[in-house]
Amino acid sequence: MKLISAGEAVGLIQDGMTIGVGGFGAYAAPETILQAMADSFAAHGHPASLTVTCGVSPGDNTNRLVGLNRIASEGLLDTIIAGHFANPPLIAEMVARNQVAGYALPLGVMIHLYDAIAAHLPVVLTPVGLGTFADPRMDGCRANERAFSQRREMVKVVELEGKEYLAYQTFPIQACIIRATYADESGNLTMKNEGLGDFAFDLAAAAHNSGGIVIAEVQKVVEFGAIHPKDVRIHAHMVDYVVVADESLYYQGYAAGYRPELCGNVRVPAAGIPAMDLTNRKVIARRGALELEPNCLINLGIGIPSGIGSVANEEGIASTLSLESGPQGGVPVEGLGFGGSVNPETIYNLSDVFHLYDGGILSMTFLGAAEIDQFGNVNVSKFGSRCTGPGGFINISQSTPKVYFVGTFTADGLEEEISDGALHILREGRKRKFLQHVQQITFSGQYARDHRREIMYITERAVFRLTDRGLLLTEIAPGVDLRRDILDQMEFEPLIAEDLHTMDPRIFRSGRMEIADALNGLQAGW
């Protein structure tokens, strides 16, 4: 291992390289090196024409120059291959404007590709992505016209023993930039104070075994032997260079400063975690929480789904909540800090998470939904020319037996209040979410039906189930009109259950719902 400056690290990255960048959303971005890369390009025009690959691209969902936003310069980037690239919005905008070629892969596939690259395997073979935009019979993971013009084949359909699979193509990685907490004098790395699981090992292994270079940005260098062997995440043999981060650019996550309760260094009283205010978001989270089961591993997605963790904590429901970012157990952080959990029981690395998810370890999952169509398809990945990528959505939704899509009924300007035990729509959203056809299929209703998945769509005013004949409306909120507030706000007519009934009134009242006793009693009976 050689200790170098950020500028020297950037000097090792040559024009046209494929480089891997660590970090996950709000966490663990190698900020100092990324900033040095941006400065070098602005001053000298190098490095240029890079292909960047990452998982959930680091960023804070604003145009602020953090994460990959730092290198969102035309000419610096040529191509991005990622599981998700909306967190750095400037990157997403470049993809939308065809300034860079964009490829959006299921996050689990992206992580497994790094493993396959390290193992010198030609493909990752998996059913994940069949029937979605990742399928080459649709978009083949291409996010924009520039990607189509490259004629790069990211994925093929293959048949094995009478079943279809997708074969995602591996590619060499010439360099990677990762973030760790500490390096010792030899170059051993620990992620001791990071707020989530990581894929730094997988990315480093892919670059190292491709004959590339591995550059680690750390908070500080400590004495050799100071890191316990079980805390060494990446051995020095795989680390070529270490950069000590600029102190002003080193932070656990964008949402707050260092929070030891996210990485297991302390535990905080769960009772002290604030409950959600009674809004339409809490109504949706509460209705979702009614589906929770004890002794189950339950995944929560970003946005409204993460609020189910808050409701479960408030109600004292005994379920283990799992995040694709690694934390298992605890209470997921909402908003910008999503990806971390308060008081996690364990923190897996992402490769392990997705091996388990793909293998069916989850009992149920709660995911967001931006568009839903008459066939039960869901879009969360592309809107107009703007492509965000699926993150772990495809892996999770295809591999889990019970899938609950949660979100508001309409969007863009929707205003609602909860009072007197009812939902009151003050102003309807300008954007309908229940459409005849979604723009892009991120979840295939047909795939779910073929594999006998249990699918439900939960909003603040209506609940639907997916049947062989389409969406079946089963519940409506108190205070709403079936025709005006539901059917007239959809582009298609759903089936209506003969026993259509009102949603549980406890959802719309202040205070706890007091639903834990039944669940915990069931748990005791098990």
The catalytic site residues sit at: 324
207 membership: H or E segment, kind and range: helix 200-209
Q: What six digits make up the tokens of 241?
A: 């260079």
The token duo for 180 is: 């760790």
Residue at token pair 């093929």:
156
SS3 393: helix
Q: Are 290 and 306 in contact (CB under 8 A)?
A: no
Residue 496: beta bridge partners? 473
Distances, alpha carbon 279 to alpha carbons 204, 396, 415, 507, in Å: 44, 27, 10, 10
Sign of CA dihedral 442, 445, 450, 456: positive
C-alpha to C-alpha distance for 266 and 287, rounded to whole angstroms: 32
Q: Is 220 exposed, middle or buried (0-12, 13-18, 19+ CB in 10 A)?
A: exposed
Tokens linked to 289: 């929480």
CA separation (Å) from 425 to 81, 183, 417, 484, 510? Answer: 41, 55, 7, 11, 18
CA distances from 342 to 191, 259, 357, 409 (A): 17, 9, 21, 30
Cα distances (Å, whole numbers) of residue 498 to 139, 238, 338, 505: 39, 63, 39, 20
